[in-house]
Chain A
Amino acid sequence: MINEKFVVLMEKYLSNEISNEEKKEFEEMLSSDSNLKAEFEEQKKIKEVLNKMKLKNPSREVWDSYWMGIYNRIERGIAWVVISIGALIFFGYASYEIVNAFIKDTQAPPLAKIGIAMLVFGGLILLFSIIREKIFTSKRDKYKEIQR
């Protein structure tokens, strides 16, 4: 098992953040324990290989258009919310007018009127239930960012 002191000193050594005193202590650790020396050599080698590499840089256009990409996505998101609310109001009103006209129609059979009234009532309960669940989840769920 590697001790914590060794790890801390080694990290400082590898990143050139070690003081002279710590360096002396670290080198004494290495000379007195061949396992620690081997661990250090391996870590140093991996670090050297990693230092030669970097994450691939994308083309300049990516950075030039990065903010606009985000701005457009936010703006379109807002547009979709507005469109959805507008559609909901419009179709809600149209449905109300259609149902109202149907119920007031003296020629329509009473059973059909009961059926359509139940359809509307059920739809409203369903809508209320979904909205309530969404609000409840967004307020209480600590893990909403995690996909299950």
Chain B
Amino acid sequence: MESGIQKSNKEYFEMLVKQNMKQAYFTALGFVGSHDAALDLSQEAFIRAYKNFSKFDKKRKFFTWYYKILKNLCLNFIRDKTHKRENHFLEFDNETLRSDNLSEKIENSELISIMEQAIEGLDGDEREIIILREFEGHSYKEISEILNIPIGTVMSKLFYARKKLGEKLRSKV
């Protein structure tokens, strides 16, 4: 006998969680910059989604609906100044890591740290669009659906977010 959660609902929801957990975790990580907080917030958002599952229109993409819950939780977390920020949420991809040159490695780790600080310095909206496009690799159309804005606005927001990121990077170098 299944305890707590009904079986059919549980199996369907489990499938949705497993399909979306990586995307959920990485989105939260981009917002809050800490592994523990990203894990906790992305799981909490799934729990809230489960509690409100009757409101979910099954014709729509689950992540688009779930994203709103996750975003609210992440923004509340960021607003709460009592949380200790970790600031280690980026790494180089495998190609870049292959370098054997020590000074290059040091330069790379400095660049990571500068980029993390620059991203943390962006507003929630700017950070959001950078995460979705540059780190999560969503298409413009997907971002437009998730944020419920036209594709042209997605492109323009991305342009200004990158521009601000450039300014932040310049001020830190």
Contact = CB atoms under 8 A, between A and B. Distances in A.
Nearest to B35: A58
A8 interface: yes
A54 B91 contact: yes
Interface string A40-76: 0011011101111111111000110011011101110
Interface residues of B, number: 53
Q: Is the interface of A mostly helix, strand, loop or mixed?
A: helix
A147 B35 CA distance: 22
Nearest to B135: A55
Contacts of A15: 140
Contact of B112 (A45, A53, A57, A58): A53
A11 B89 contact: no
Interface in B106-138: 111-112, 115, 130-131, 134-135
Size range of the chain A interface in the assembly: 35 or more
A129 B69 CA distance: 29
Given A50-B130, A62-B39, A71-B10, 15 more contacts: A7-B159, A43-B162, A47-B162, A50-B135, A52-B93, A53-B91, A54-B92, A55-B131, A56-B88, A56-B89, A57-B91, A63-B21, A66-B25, A69-B43, A75-B3
18 contacts: A46-B165, A50-B134, A52-B95, A52-B96, A53-B115, A54-B92, A55-B89, A55-B91, A55-B135, A56-B29, A56-B88, A58-B39, A63-B21, A70-B47, A73-B43, A73-B44, A77-B47, A145-B69
